[in-house]
Amino acid sequence: MITGGDAATTQGPSGSELVTFLYGDLTGLSRGRSFPLRDLPERLHSGVGWVPADQALTPFDEIADPNPWGPVGDLRLLPDRRTEVRVDRWPEASALHFFLCDAVETDGARWEACPRALLKEALSALERDAGLRLVAAFEQEFHLSGPGRSGPAFSMEAHRLVEPFGPMLVAALEEGGQEPETFLPEYGPGQYEINCRPAEGIAAPDRALSVREIVRESARRLGHRASFTPIVDPDGVGNGVHVHFSFLDEDGRPAGYDPARPGRVSEASGQFVAGILRHLPALVALTAPSVISYLRLTPHRWSAGFTAFGDRNREAAVRIAPTYAGADPERQFNLEYRAADAAACPHLALAAIVLAGLEGIREKLPDPPLIAADPAEMRDEERARLGVRRLPGSLEEALDALEADEVARSWLPPLLLECYLSMKRTEIRLLDGAEPTESCARYLDVY
């Protein structure tokens, strides 16, 4: 724990060091309040103030009306000490110092609409009812603007053109405790990807949010801008957030891998994926929830256009990731949910994935068929026979699917659902009449 520090270290060339308590809200953005470092010991207990109606903030900062709270009420943002990030490597700027928080009632009680609390409950239910602990890693793509020309996809040129962004980012992630693994220029112009080690339970989406903040800060320090927007150009590739996940049993041994079964997925993993696919049209309203997410979730972009499960198939919504020779396959084995992007609150998205999967386990659903082809290239009858459905074509359709799916609706506490639907429909209204290119520009600016 870095907390505290003596008074002398709290004054830098940029002024008094501030600590920010951040809340990962329903838009996938982190918002919060800052205070002087000297107050941290006390603030760790008391938190900072927060406003319930802020939960209804759209990505474009208009608060959805109606929302369940209006002008009334108060909350606290209470930090989870394990989420502390402090990166102090830029002479021209103060340390980037923050904690991620739960939103709680002023008396400290659970607030019904907090997505982080919902995820904790979903993970406990998975452990209690299925004996499984979840390990996950969020593979995140983003767009870097500022360095000028971008080199060919994956090329050394594209690595080096943004110097010293890569090494600076990796060092900042290391200092911030995020265990970076790989940094790469991706397929799209100006597109990059960052991967960090998997983490157990709530630490995984916490990491997703912290990594985004460190990426954005590293870009800012070089005068660039990093955006995790779901898609930059309507005709280009999207920025995916692929959620890799695997299971441990109660003793911490890998569960979920069974080399004797098709795709090497254990019975429980197969059921879990079946639950996800059954509810996927509703699920995407929570995991890919911007207006432009539906430009990305279209065939031939290696994102996900259909409710398909595939072994190493990049057009599948849930993919079995590869394992490599030379290391224990049981430990490497993981599944990848690809129908997510950074407009989703990672805690809410993961909670919904877990609750959908758990539903599949409870109902003992059969393994979904493994789709080896591009689902868009299959004939209609073939898709129908295999239960492969097209995903919703717009955010409106996805929200309608969520409302129509009684099981999916029940995953969210009523106030959270009410707020979410109202906020998302306001977001749609705010882009009413905008051309796709203009909508992309709006999201690029925010994320």
**In Å, how far from its chain's centre is CA 400?**
22
Site for ligand GLU in 124-183 (CB under 6 A): 141
Distances in Å between the Cα of 433 and the Cα atoms of 36, 45, 63, 229, 430 are: 44, 47, 20, 20, 9
User: Taking CB under 6 A as the rule, which mask of x and - marks residues 290-329 in contact with ligand GLU?
Assistant: ------x----xxx----------x---------------
Query: Which CB, 201 or 236, lies closer to ligand GLU?
Result: 236
Query: Which CB, 224 or 314, lies closer to ligand GLU?
Result: 314
Query: Which CB, 186 or 359, lies closer to ligand GLU?
Result: 186
For ligand GLU, the nearest residue by Cβ is 240
Contact partner at residue 133 from Mg ion, ligand GLU, none, CB < 5 to 8 Å by partner kind:
none
Asked if 110 is part of the footprint of ligand GLU (rule: CB under 6 A), the reply reads: no
Query: Which CB, 237 or 348, lies closer to Mg ion?
Result: 237
Residue 299, Cβ density class (10 Å: 0-12 exposed, 13-18 middle, ≥19 buried) = middle
Contact partner at residue 314 from ligand GLU, Mg ion, none, CB < 5 to 8 Å by partner kind:
ligand GLU
Quote the least distance from Cβ 377 to Mg ion, whole Å: 22
Type of residue found at 378: M
- Output the DSSP codes for 229-289: -SBSSTTS-B--EEEEEEEE-TTS-EESB-TTSGGGB-HHHHHHHHHHHHHHHHHHHHHS-
Q: Kindly state the DSSP code that residue 214 receives in the 8-state scheme.
A: H
Query: How many whole angstroms separate alpha carbon 23 and alpha carbon 116?
Result: 9
C-alpha torsion angle, residues 266, 268, 272, 278 (rounded to 10): 90
- Residue from the set 238, 254, 289, 375 that interacts with ligand GLU by CB under 6 A: 238
Quote the least distance from Cβ 21 to Mg ion, whole Å: 31
Query: How many whole angstroms separate alpha carbon 126 and alpha carbon 132?
Result: 6
Quote the least distance from Cβ 239 to ligand GLU, whole Å: 6
Phi/psi region, residue 376 (left: phi>0; alpha: psi -120 to 50; beta: rest), is: alpha
Query: Which CB, 35 or 302, lies closer to ligand GLU?
Result: 302
Task: Select from 11-19, 41-49, 233-241, 262-270 the region that touches ligand GLU (CB under 6 A).
Answer: 233-241
Asked if 341 is part of the footprint of Mg ion (rule: CB under 5 A), the reply reads: no
Contact partner at residue 313 from ligand GLU, Mg ion, none, CB < 5 to 8 Å by partner kind:
none
Asked if 338 is part of the footprint of ligand GLU (rule: CB under 6 A), the reply reads: yes
Residue 434, CB-side half-sphere exposure with 13 Å CA sphere: 17
- Output the DSSP codes for 344-374: S-HHHHHHHHHHHHHHHHHTTPPPPPBP-S-
Asked if 237 is part of the footprint of ligand GLU (rule: CB under 6 A), the reply reads: yes
Query: Which CB, 244 or 296, lies closer to ligand GLU?
Result: 296
Nearest partner of 186 among 224, 221, 144, judged by Cα: 144
Q: Are 112 and 84 in contact (CB under 8 A)?
A: no
- Residue from the set 102, 193, 315, 336 that interacts with Mg ion by CB under 5 A: 193
Quote the least distance from Cβ 166 to ligand GLU, whole Å: 17
Asked if 336 is part of the footprint of Mg ion (rule: CB under 5 A), the reply reads: no
**In Å, how far from its chain's centre is CA 402?**
19
For Mg ion, the nearest residue by Cβ is 193
Question: Helices 203-221 & 346-362, crossing angle to 10 degrees?
Answer: 150
Binding site for ligand GLU (CB under 6 A): 141, 237-238, 240, 296, 301-303, 314, 338
